[in-house]
Protein backbone atom coordinates (compact mmCIF):
# COMPACT_ATOMS: atom_id res chain seq x y z
CA UNK A 1 0.00 0.00 0.00
CA UNK A 2 1.34 3.43 -0.86
CA UNK A 3 0.40 6.67 0.76
CA UNK A 4 -0.79 9.48 -1.49
CA UNK A 5 0.97 12.82 -1.51
CA UNK A 6 -1.53 15.34 -0.09
CA UNK A 7 0.76 18.38 -0.22
CA UNK A 8 -0.63 19.55 -3.55
CA UNK A 9 -3.01 22.54 -3.68
CA UNK A 10 -6.71 21.77 -3.49
CA UNK A 11 -9.15 23.42 -5.89
CA UNK A 12 -12.28 24.75 -4.20
CA UNK A 13 -15.44 25.59 -6.17
CA UNK A 14 -16.74 28.89 -4.84
CA UNK A 15 -20.19 30.07 -5.83
CA UNK A 16 -20.20 33.60 -7.32
CA UNK A 17 -22.76 34.60 -4.69
CA UNK A 18 -20.32 33.95 -1.82
CA UNK A 19 -18.24 36.74 -0.29
CA UNK A 20 -14.62 36.45 0.88
CA UNK A 21 -15.40 37.03 4.57
CA UNK A 22 -17.27 33.79 5.00
CA UNK A 23 -20.31 33.67 7.27
CA UNK A 24 -21.81 30.49 8.70
CA UNK A 25 -24.46 30.46 5.97
CA UNK A 26 -21.80 30.93 3.27
CA UNK A 27 -19.74 28.14 4.81
CA UNK A 28 -22.70 25.76 4.73
CA UNK A 29 -23.30 26.58 1.06
CA UNK A 30 -19.60 26.14 0.23
CA UNK A 31 -19.45 22.81 2.08
CA UNK A 32 -22.54 21.53 0.24
CA UNK A 33 -21.03 22.17 -3.20
CA UNK A 34 -17.64 20.71 -2.13
CA UNK A 35 -18.72 17.57 -0.25
CA UNK A 36 -15.45 15.76 -1.04
CA UNK A 37 -13.41 18.30 0.95
CA UNK A 38 -12.98 18.49 4.71
CA UNK A 39 -13.73 22.16 5.37
CA UNK A 40 -13.48 24.01 8.66
CA UNK A 41 -14.35 27.60 9.56
CA UNK A 42 -12.54 29.36 12.39
CA UNK A 43 -14.18 31.72 14.88
CA UNK A 44 -12.73 34.58 12.79
CA UNK A 45 -14.44 33.30 9.64
CA UNK A 46 -11.25 31.92 8.08
CA UNK A 47 -11.69 28.91 5.81
CA UNK A 48 -9.41 25.89 6.31
CA UNK A 49 -9.27 23.02 3.81
CA UNK A 50 -8.05 19.93 5.67
CA UNK A 51 -6.21 17.24 3.68
CA UNK A 52 -7.12 13.58 4.27
CA UNK A 53 -5.09 11.76 6.92
CA UNK A 54 -2.37 9.34 5.92
CA UNK A 55 -2.60 5.60 6.51
CA UNK A 56 -0.72 5.62 9.84
CA UNK A 57 -2.85 8.43 11.27
CA UNK A 58 -6.04 6.87 9.90
CA UNK A 59 -5.18 3.56 11.56
CA UNK A 60 -4.40 5.28 14.87
CA UNK A 61 -7.65 7.29 14.71
CA UNK A 62 -9.66 4.12 14.07
CA UNK A 63 -8.06 2.43 17.08
CA UNK A 64 -8.83 5.41 19.32
CA UNK A 65 -12.42 5.68 18.05
CA UNK A 66 -12.94 1.94 18.62
CA UNK A 67 -11.69 2.18 22.19
CA UNK A 68 -13.93 5.19 22.90
CA UNK A 69 -16.94 3.44 21.33
CA UNK A 70 -16.38 0.30 23.43
CA UNK A 71 -15.85 2.29 26.64
CA UNK A 72 -18.97 4.37 25.99
CA UNK A 73 -21.01 1.28 25.08
CA UNK A 74 -20.07 -0.34 28.41
CA UNK A 75 -20.58 2.77 30.54
CA UNK A 76 -23.57 4.29 28.69
CA UNK A 77 -22.60 7.86 29.56
CA UNK A 78 -23.85 9.54 26.41
CA UNK A 79 -23.13 9.45 22.72
CA UNK A 80 -19.84 9.57 20.84
CA UNK A 81 -19.04 10.92 17.37
CA UNK A 82 -16.35 10.13 14.83
CA UNK A 83 -13.77 12.67 13.68
CA UNK A 84 -15.71 13.68 10.56
CA UNK A 85 -18.82 14.85 12.45
CA UNK A 86 -19.54 18.55 11.97
CA UNK A 87 -20.61 20.87 14.75
CA UNK A 88 -21.62 24.53 14.86
CA UNK A 89 -20.06 25.97 18.00
CA UNK A 90 -21.00 29.34 19.51
Question: What is the separation, in whole angstroms, between the first and last Cα of the chain?
Answer: 41
Express each pLDDT in 21-75 by its tens digit: 678 888 888 889 888 888 888 777 777 888 888 889 889 999 999 999 999 999 9
Domain boundaries, the chain: 17-51, 53-82
Number of Cβ atoms within 10 Å of the Cβ of 14: 16
Is 41 in contact with 47 (CB distance < 8 Å)? yes
- pTM reported for the whole predicted model: 0.53
Amino acid sequence: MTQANFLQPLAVNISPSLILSITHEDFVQLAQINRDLQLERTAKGELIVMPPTGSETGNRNLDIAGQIWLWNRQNQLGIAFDSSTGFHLP
